[in-house]
Amino acid sequence: MNLMTTLGRPFVFSATSAPEPRPGLELIDFLGVGLYLLVTTAIVIWSSRRPPTTSEYFLGGRRMPWMAVGLSLLATLMSSISYMGVPGEMIKNGVAMFAQYMALPFSMMVILGVWVPFFMRLKFTSAYEYLERRFDIRTRILGSLLFLLLRLGWMSMVMYVGSLALSQMLETLVPAQMSDPIARWMHPDADPPVPLRGTLLYWIIVAVGVSATIYSSMGGFRAAIWNDVLQSLMLFGGTLVTLGYVMWTTGTGPLDWWRIAAENSSGHTKPILFSLDPTVRMTAFTAVILSFFWQICTHGSDQVVLQRYFSTRTLSAARRSYIVNAITDVTIGMLLAFCGLALLAFYLQHPSYLPEGILVFKDGHAVVQKGDRVLPHFFAHQLPAGIGGVILAVLLCDAMQTLVSGVNSITAVFSNDLYGQLRPKRQRSLTAFGFARFVTVVAGLVVTVLGSGVAWLAQNSGRNIIDMMAPAFNMFLGPLASLFLIGMFLKCDGRVVRIAVACSILISFLWSYWKILFRTDYELTITLSTAVPYLASFAIAAIVGLFLKPAEGFTGLDYTWRAVMRRPLEEAKTDSPPGAGE
């Protein structure tokens, strides 16, 4: 029976019913996974043929094409967190989050007009070199540490989300009675034995982490860029296949999906527009604020993003790469939103096609309790054999590629900004390139361990992917970005900025962990977890700077935004042969 009829609100579909779900992945699906992995491995091997220099390893010789850099930004910043989190948010909580795209014109003006021309005049390998020139070595180390915390948490989340999708798609292939061999070895007398299904997620996290570490150490930045390009194209393909399947099997379209969602729960399509209550989880206005500050903070302080701009040769190439990223980000974001609506409508029409516990009925309405699990279940059980396997490979490789990009950036920051500054005179037993590869391996293994911890926290807290972002990593973004904002637009020294950022870190921590720390029944909105610490830090620095003036002759003021923009814009020096440029 159709769920719309069950709830007493009949809805007529031109198609009677979608095909019954299949038991799970089949041999042809795994052949698709294998083929995709072969292609990405070939890209890594091809990229590793270049001369082993640190400029090549971290920046691709500063000759990466702007189109490739733009698509790489999309694949890196979106990652499997957004790919699963956006439809999951739509399915569970409705459309409020998608007001965020109204912020795009404003964030574009800041990024294209202020950030990109500023950083392209500096042309550093690491963005945190700027903090030493502007303030001092201690501020550079502070910025580097905040970046490491931000991206280690981010990659741990990516690893968890990608592995969650894979475990959801593979779980049916593991017999329910099969026990975990490690748990059986450690606890031979356990009764009953720990089932392998219960620990499958952690096994997958280890496998993905080790694979991504090997990829990172072999190919470097150029491999990350070109695999990101392939990944971004496949991400688009996954959304189109999902939408096409639902349209074909149910005979419905976007207007029908919207109507079905509204009939089931008016809150899905009529979000709160504005509220002064900071405990309201999300409104349309705060979604815009979230997007604006996340964009300007990420593009104005994050090595993962700035490293890609540094890899282009000219300012115009860097700007074009951002425009490509912005256009494709909006496009795939809207497609993912439609995927959420489509899947909600699909499973409202076919509630028996979902596993028990994902969809429950309360007061005559269907309530989705685990929205993040709907998309991978759809891929594994509803799409035709072969297609599900290719999309599985996309999710798997997206997690791996995001880790590759993040680990490469972490290695650049650790090698140049931390180890190189803390131990400047220490004689290394490895070459600079060999040391970079060694740090890459260590960073990959650390992320694997942290990914297991995030998985445990997420599985035991009941939070969805979007809600996990602030406490896992976004709490460091506002304080980090405020270092650059203060450096560009306030005339102060390192003492002032460190006081301001210390206060910002405290504010961010309290905001993100309010419910846990104070044991309340509510928590502060996740949509302001970046904006509040970011603006508070700037305001505190402006006030403290009135009392702590820079010493006379302080050269850091030569690196304010106005001073840097007076410099002539020079084309980047490269160490790669011509022909691969913009």
Q: Flag whether pLDDT at 67 surpasses 70.
A: yes
**Residue 272, domain member (yes or no):** yes
CB atoms within 10 A of CB 206: 16
Q: Which residues pair with 195 in a beta bridge?
A: 179
Q: What does pLDDT average to over the chain? A: 80
Rounded Cα gap, residues 204 and 185, in angstroms: 19
**Residue 574, domain member (yes or no):** no
Least confident of 2-16, 265-279, 380-394, 435-449: 2-16
Residue 131 pLDDT class (50, 70, 90 cuts) = very high
Tokens of 554: 């302080």
> Taking CA 406 as the corner, what is the angle to CA 449 and CA 51, rounded to the nearest 5 degrees?
120
Residue 2 pLDDT class (50, 70, 90 cuts) = very low
Query: In this predicted structure, what is the pLDDT of residue 1?
Result: 38
DSSP label of 361: E
Query: In this predicted structure, what is the pLDDT of residue 271?
Result: 81
Rounded Cα gap, residues 373 and 24, in angstroms: 15
Q: Flag whether pLDDT at 299 surpasses 70.
A: yes
Q: What is the mean pLDDT of residues 451-468?
A: 76
Distance spanning both ends of the chain, measured CA to CA: 57
Q: What is the mean pLDDT of residues 539-564?
A: 94
Query: CA torsion angle for 118, 290, 294, 377 (degrees, to 10)?
Result: -150
Query: In this predicted structure, what is the pLDDT of residue 571?
Result: 58
**Residue 575, domain member (yes or no):** no
**Residue 291, domain member (yes or no):** yes
User: Residue 51 belongs to what domain range?
Assistant: 3-176+204-565
Q: Which residue has the higher pLDDT, 21 or 465?
A: 21
Residue 482 pLDDT class (50, 70, 90 cuts) = very high
- Over residues 30-41, the pLDDT tens digits come to 787 778 778 877
Residue 115 pLDDT class (50, 70, 90 cuts) = very high
Rounded Cα gap, residues 452 and 156, in angstroms: 8
Rounded Cα gap, residues 469 and 157, in angstroms: 8
Q: What is the mean pLDDT of residues 292-317?
A: 88
**Residue 581, domain member (yes or no):** no
Report DSSP letters for 260-286, one per residue.
HHHHH-HHHHS-----S-TTSS--HHH
Query: In this predicted structure, what is the pLDDT of residue 34?
Result: 78
Tokens of 200: 């499958």
Rounded Cα gap, residues 324 and 335, in angstroms: 17
Q: Flag whether pLDDT at 294 surpasses 60.
A: yes
Determine the 3-state secondary structure of 195 from DSSP. strand
Note the pTM of the prediction, 2 decimals. 0.81
Domains held by the chain: number = 1
**Residue 580, domain member (yes or no):** no
Determine the 3-state secondary structure of 274 from DSSP. coil
Q: Flag whether pLDDT at 428 surpasses 60.
A: no
**Residue 148, domain member (yes or no):** yes
Tokens of 571: 């084309």
Query: In this predicted structure, what is the pLDDT of residue 278?
Result: 84
User: Is residue 173 within 8 Å of 385, Cβ to Cβ?
Assistant: no
Looking at mean pLDDT, say which of 139-153, 386-400, 412-426 comes out highest.
Answer: 139-153
**Share of residues in the chain with pLDDT > 90 (%):** 25
Query: In this predicted structure, what is the pLDDT of residue 18?
Result: 78
Query: In this predicted structure, what is the pLDDT of residue 133?
Result: 94
Rounded Cα gap, residues 456 and 52, in angstroms: 39
Three-class secondary structure assignment of 26-85: CHHHHHHHHHHHHHHHHHHHHHCCCCCCHHHHHHHHHCCCHHHHHHHHHHHHHHHHHHHH
Query: In this predicted structure, what is the pLDDT of residue 9?
Result: 43
Least confident of 343-347, 401-405, 552-556: 401-405
Task: CATH number of the domain at 343, please.
Answer: 1.20.1730.10
Which amino acid belongs to residue 325?
A: N
Residue 579 pLDDT class (50, 70, 90 cuts) = very low
Q: What is the mean pLDDT of residues 513-542?
A: 90
- Over residues 82-98, the pLDDT tens digits come to 787 788 888 877 788 77
Query: In this predicted structure, what is the pLDDT of residue 116?
Result: 92
Rounded Cα gap, residues 199 and 194, in angstroms: 8
Q: What is the mean pLDDT of residues 538-566?
A: 95
Q: Flag whether pLDDT at 105 surpasses 70.
A: yes
Residue 424 pLDDT class (50, 70, 90 cuts) = low
**Residue 572, domain member (yes or no):** no
Q: Which residue has the higher pLDDT, 158 or 345?
A: 345
Q: Flag whether pLDDT at 224 surpasses 60.
A: yes
